[in-house]
Amino acid sequence: MTQITQQEQANTDETSQQYLTFIMASEEYGVDILSVQEIRGWEATTIIPNSPSHVKGVINLRGTIVPIIDLRQRFGIETLEYGATTVVIVVKVAISSDHKIIGIVVDAVSDVFSVNNTDVRSAPDFGDDTDLGFIKGLTNAQEKMVILLDINKLLGSEILPEASQLSNLINNIDAQQPKAVNE
């Protein structure tokens, strides 16, 4: 288990990046603030026929048709009723040379903070064929672990690969977390 702390030493990049963090199923996630276009409340969508269940439909964002993706469902976490506090983060996703505007449904927006790149640790390697490419790394903010997401990898693929195992993975990370910090 000590390898986690050793991995982070390799990262010597001094620059820092700002992240917007949000809460989902009591985990905190961060996305690069530069990719965030706006934050909106949940509104009814127009469903897209025969789309994967995490695609909630499309909305009209000032004349542009924007798909909405439920990140809970995307991660295979049990869904919640959408309520007044349900939030949609509209992000700009780079896809090859183009970009798409996509809304992601999360439980609540948490914070904006700066992370020094040296403080980002790689996600643990679980050795199996689980593709965790969309996790940029882990960091700590105010004594809490934050999972930093690579939004381009998360939302950039054609039909998003199912990641129902992710909740298990997150639990695993959680399990490792205290030990890593304590060392």
For 50, phi then psi, to 5°, come to 60, 30
| Binding to other proteins, residues 115-174 (CB under 8 A) | 158-159
- The answer to whether residue 53 forms part of the interface with other proteins (CB under 8 A) is no
For 41, phi then psi, to 5°, come to -75, 165
Q: Which stretch binds other proteins (CB under 8 A): 11-19, 29-37, 57-65, 110-118?
A: 57-65
Q: Which residues of 49-85 are buried (b: 16+ CB within 10 A; e: fewer)?
A: eeeeebbbbbbebeeeebbbbbbbbbbbbeeeebeee
Looking at the DSSP bridge assignments, the partners of residue 90 are 38, 103
Q: CB-wise, 63 or 127, nearer to other proteins?
A: 63
- The answer to whether residue 105 forms part of the interface with other proteins (CB under 8 A) is no
| C-alpha–C-alpha distance, residues 165 and 167, integer Å | 6
Q: CB-wise, 55 or 135, nearer to other proteins?
A: 55
- The answer to whether residue 66 forms part of the interface with other proteins (CB under 8 A) is yes
Q: CB-wise, 21 or 45, nearer to other proteins?
A: 45
- The answer to whether residue 36 forms part of the interface with other proteins (CB under 8 A) is no
Q: Which stretch binds other proteins (CB under 8 A): 10-18, 62-70, 104-112, 165-173?
A: 62-70
Q: How far is CA 111 from the centre of its chain?
A: 14
DSSP 133: T
Q: CB-wise, 91 or 135, nearer to other proteins?
A: 91
Cβ neighbours of 39 (radius 10 Å): 14
Q: CB-wise, 41 or 178, nearer to other proteins?
A: 41
**Selected binder of other proteins within 18, 46, 85, 116 (CB under 8 A):** 46
| C-alpha–C-alpha distance, residues 97 and 21, integer Å | 26
Which residues make up the interface to other proteins (CB under 8 A)? 44-51, 55, 57-60, 63-67, 100-102, 158-159
